[in-house]
Structure 1
Amino acid sequence: MLLDGKVAVVTGAGSGVGRASALRFAAEGARVVCADISLDGAEETVREIEKLERPDGPGGPSGAAARAVAVRCDVSVEADVAGALEHAAERFGTLDIVFNNAGVPTPRLGAKLEDHSVEDFDRLVAVNLRGVFLGSKHAVLRFKRQGGGGVILNTGSVAGIVAWGGSVYGATKGGVHQLTRAVAIEGAPFGIRANAICPAGMPYTGFMTAGGMGSDEETTAALARQTGANHPLGRPITAEDCAEAAVFLVSDRAANITGVLLPVDGGYLAR
């Protein structure tokens, strides 16, 4: 129960890393606001959380409040982000953790810089970078009002560390990394920690298929073999791999860790 008594907001919680992380946070005792632009996806994550076993039985003791709620949130819209965080504090009494995870991939995997339209650029920046800016900004404001610190976790990417993946996508993730480090320094005097996880290839989360790759089993299996071959450990990265890193970084076991960009990459960056 690493997060017992904590309240967390997870963006992009309707699928992939967000869903896996929301489930892990809840399994470790947190109450979770599952925020996603797809309310249906967020509500499905809440239903999965409510099925989890706890030491006192499914769903906690008789009469206990729900462990998770779903909200629709477009992370590029400030009112949506601020509203999701406010909803967490109002529903559960406080806010301890904000995981800015929502993101979108390069519209067409393999597209070069000159292949990107201005519309492509604007969407990538709006979701991947502005979304993290807004989540971090309103987390800091909330944590300072509450006192006692708080934790911000962002989803970056190995594509923001090396030239791997789409150029504009990588640039947005590089921005996420720099924002993470800046918030870590600015927030330190207030007990606010900020870190980022940096995944490598994740063929099973739907992120690659959203970038134009096929979604059938054969294509997914081929993507898994290809991405796994790029990682020294020989396996593709899963949403659950990222969730395990996330739950550690937001827990009190990482109380003296801030400003870290943690690769979840099977050794890719160590080459």
Structure 2
Amino acid sequence: MLLENKIAVITGAGSGVGRASALRFAEEGARVVCADISLDRVEETVELIKKAAGTAVAVKADVSAEADVIAMLDTAAGNFGRLDILYNNVGIPTPRLGMRLEEHTVEDFDRLTSVNLRGVFLGCKHAVLRFKQQGGGGVILNTGSVAGLVGWGGTVYGATKGGVHQLTRAVAIECAPEGIRCNAICPAGMPYTGFMAAGGMPAAPEVLEQAAKTTGENHPLGRPITAEDCAEAAVYLVSDRAANVTGVLLPVDGGYVAR
């Protein structure tokens, strides 16, 4: 029970890494506020947690809207009394996988930055304010990407994740005196989540299998990354076992960026 009695908010909890992390946090004893722009999806996550004897509530939130972020954190305090952990997990891909820089429109750029970077900024800002008001520190975890660590295509997407990485390190240093930790996980290719589908990859089983094979071949360990891989890393980083770990960008990538 690594997260026993901890109160956590997870964004993007309606699917993929967010849902896997919500399930694992609850399994480790956390009470979880599951936030997503799709209320139907996030209510499904909450039902899965409750069926496994966990505790969770659902909230609809657009992370690019400051009022929604504040209300999301208020839900944690209102239902469970405080906030201990914020996991800024929401991210969106480029409109089409493989897009080159010059193919992006200003509208593409604005949408990617508003969700992937502005959303993390807003989450960090209001979590820090809440932690300082409460006293006793707190933990922030962000979802970055190997695309923000190396040049990997998806230029605008990678730039937003590079911004998330720098924000993570800066918050870690600024807030260390108050006992607030801030880290990020940096996943590589995850063909079995809805992320690639959102970028236009067909969800047909044979397409997913081929994508998993190709993705795995790009990783030294030979396997694609799963949502569950990321959830395990997330549990560690938000737990007290990582009490002296902050400002870390942890690749979950099968060794991709080590080459």
Report the TM-score when normalising by structure 2. Answer: 0.99
Per-residue CA distance 1:64-85 (angstroms, 9 max, x = gap): xxx1000000000000011100
Q: Residues 218-233 of structure 1 correspond to what in structure 2 (within 5 A)?
A: 218-233=206-221
1:79 is matched with which residue? 67
Matched, 1:206 2:200: no
1:256 is matched with which residue? 244
1:2 is matched with which residue? 2
Q: Which amino acid aligns with 2:175?
A: G
Give the 3-state SS of the residue equivalent to 2:237 in structure 1. Answer: helix
Q: Which amino acid aligns with 2:182?
A: A
Q: Which amino acid aligns with 2:141?
A: L
Per-residue CA distance 1:206-231 (angstroms, 9 max, x = gap): 11111011111011011000100000
Taking the aligned partners of 1:165 and 1:82, their CA distance within structure 2 comes to 34
Per-residue CA distance 1:215-265 (angstroms, 9 max, x = gap): 110110110001000000000000000000000000000000000000000
Q: Which amino acid aligns with 2:200?
A: G
1:46 is matched with which residue? 46
Matched, 1:22 2:22: yes
Q: Residues 120-269 of structure 1 correspond to what in structure 2 (within 5 A)?
A: 120-269=108-257
Taking the aligned partners of 2:155 and 2:144, their CA distance within structure 1 comes to 14
Q: Which amino acid aligns with 1:115?
A: E
Give the 3-state SS of the residue equivalent to 2:247 in structure 1. Answer: coil
Distance 1:23 1:165, change over 3 A: farther
Taking the aligned partners of 1:49 and 1:87, their CA distance within structure 2 comes to 17
Give the 3-state SS of the residue equivalent to 1:179 in structure 2. Answer: helix
Taking the aligned partners of 1:266 and 1:147, their CA distance within structure 2 comes to 38
| CA displacement at 1:90 relative to structure 2 | 1.1
Give the 3-state SS of the residue equivalent to 1:201 in structure 2. Answer: coil
Which of 91, 102, 121 is matched with 2:79 structurally? 91
| CA displacement at 1:165 relative to structure 2 | 3.3
Give the 3-state SS of the residue equivalent to 1:203 in structure 2. Answer: coil
CA-based RMSD of the aligned residues comes to 0.6
Taking the aligned partners of 1:77 and 1:41, their CA distance within structure 2 comes to 19
Q: Which amino acid aligns with 2:8?
A: A
1:68 is matched with which residue? 56
Give the 3-state SS of the residue equivalent to 1:194 in structure 2. Answer: strand
Per-residue CA distance 1:87-106 (angstroms, 9 max, x = gap): 10111001100000001011
Which runs of 5 or more structure 2 residues have no equivalent in the other structure? none
Indicate if the aligned counterparts of 2:147 and 2:157 stay in contact, CA closer than 8 A. yes
Taking the aligned partners of 1:106 and 1:162, their CA distance within structure 2 comes to 17
Give the 3-state SS of the residue equivalent to 1:193 in structure 2. Answer: strand
Give the 3-state SS of the residue equivalent to 1:14 in structure 2. Answer: coil
Per-residue CA distance 1:172-209 (angstroms, 9 max, x = gap): 00000000000000110000000000000000011111
| CA displacement at 1:37 relative to structure 2 | 0.2
Give the 3-state SS of the residue equivalent to 2:96 in structure 1. Answer: coil
Give the 3-state SS of the residue equivalent to 1:32 in structure 2. Answer: strand
Give the 3-state SS of the residue equivalent to 1:219 in structure 2. Answer: helix
Taking the aligned partners of 2:134 and 2:194, their CA distance within structure 1 comes to 37
Taking the aligned partners of 2:77 and 2:198, their CA distance within structure 1 comes to 33
